Amino acid sequence: MGSMADRRNLRLLTRYTAWANDRLFTALEQLPPGELTAPRATSFGNMLRTLNHACVVDQIWQAHLQGRPHGFTSRNTDSTPALAQLRGQQQALDDWYILYADALTGERQCEVVHFKFVDGGEGAMARGDMLLHVVNHKTFHRGYVADMMYQVPARPPSMDLPVFLRDAAPDLN
């Protein structure tokens, strides 16, 4: 069974993710026109498609946690929404993950969920591990976007966990 510390950490990390995403989207809104979609040497080609990928993956894991089909056949979409629309989608997902982590009991945190990967392969993970993956996945891709911001050149916001803990962490006790 998951411990109280595990539950607290999941609650903290989902809030950290929402905070870091908000800081990144705010910084991206300040970039010169065209920089979000300018071709970059990265997996998804540009900043906006990288963020769209992270949002799509959030939707896929949300569906797994809810036990429903996600409807995606790829880890990105053919068309990419504008930054404002993508930000709204990501904020809604971040809010959902916070509420999900808040409601996740120790027993449910360890419950194994069976699902299909986008490529059709079988998967199984504990609910708590799924949340950790979602948090880590977005951290990974925020790092890619931060690197692309330096190529503009622009300075990305500080999105480190210690900064969140210092400036914005809620009391979860």
Distance CA 54, CA 48 (A): 10
User: In whole angstroms, how large is the CA radius of gyration of the chain?
Assistant: 16
The whole-model pTM stands at 0.95
Are 64 and 127 within 8 A, CB to CB? no
Residue 1's pLDDT is 62
Domains of the chain: 4-163 (1.20.120.450)
In the structure encoding, which two tokens stand for residue 80, read together?
Answer: 């990419």
In the structure encoding, which two tokens stand for residue 125, read together?
Answer: 């993970």
Structure confidence by residue, pLDDT tens digits, 70-95: 999 999 999 999 999 999 999 999 99
**Mean pLDDT for the chain?**
95
